[in-house]
Amino acid sequence: MDKGQNMDYLLRLRLFLWFGTLGFLSPAFGEPRIPKEPSLPSLPSEETKEPRNARGDKDSGEPKVLNLTLCDGRTVRGESTSGSQSIFFEHTKDGILYKKKLNVNELDSIKMDTWELKLKREEKKGTTYEVVPKKIRIRTKNGEVFYKETGVSDLKLLNIEIKNNNGETTLFTYWVDLKFPDGKWYSGLPATKGDPLVREDCLKDVVRMIEWE
């Protein structure tokens, strides 16, 4: 091999080594790499915290005037700060599930249509049930009506504190009842119709409807 051929061989060897090293170090010249899937952005969670004042205490807001109708037809009117200033709930319209937020100032009334019997404990005398609202109707001041199937516990309206000229009291939208082995109820209410764990009638001292003035 003469000198010219030797120089040409060395030049080709250098180029081969250079491209080989570049292909090994750089993905642009090496084997194609599978791209990583981009991480999906996190969706903002719905804010459900109750409003708080500067000290961090729960802000009960201004008192609202309520008219409460009990299950035996009696009515109680007075001021109350029970419940949140806004309510969040799910409801179904034409077979479609929606999430809805309403300010208390938009509410006209909430009416309990049915109550659900939830087993609390077995006793010698019978079975104790907690009877809580199940199906409720929410009406707004502009006439919209929404049906909610999960009661009022998440709306913080199980216990309603109210104040008027007679003093202060707490009324309830639920009650506890005892079912005897013979099928009768301690409250004196008749047997349930249809679904044994759902009833439409209620204890006389329980709140059936809440109206905002």
Interacting residues of 171 by C-beta distance below 8 A, sequence separation 6+: 68, 70, 76, 159, 160, 162, 205, 206, 207
Q: Which two tokens stand for residue 38?
A: 């981009």
The predicted pLDDT at position 152 comes to 86
The predicted pLDDT at position 67 comes to 97
Q: Which two tokens stand for residue 39?
A: 């991480």
CA angle 149, 153, 157 (to 5 degrees): 110
3-state secondary structure of 37: coil
Q: pTM above the 0.75 mark?
A: no
The predicted pLDDT at position 39 comes to 36
pLDDT in tens, the chain (213 residues): 554 555 555 445 444 444 444 443 444 444 433 333 333 333 333 333 444 443 343 445 688 999 999 999 999 999 998 887 888 888 888 889 899 999 999 999 999 999 999 999 998 899 999 999 999 999 999 999 999 888 888 788 999 999 999 999 999 999 999 999 999 999 999 999 889 999 999 999 999 999 999
Q: Which two tokens stand for residue 178?
A: 């005892």
Query: In angstroms, rounded to a whole number, what is the distance separating the alpha carbons of residues 173 and 71?
Result: 10
Exposure of 5 by Cβ count < 10 A (0-12 exposed, 13-18 middle, 19+ buried)?
A: exposed
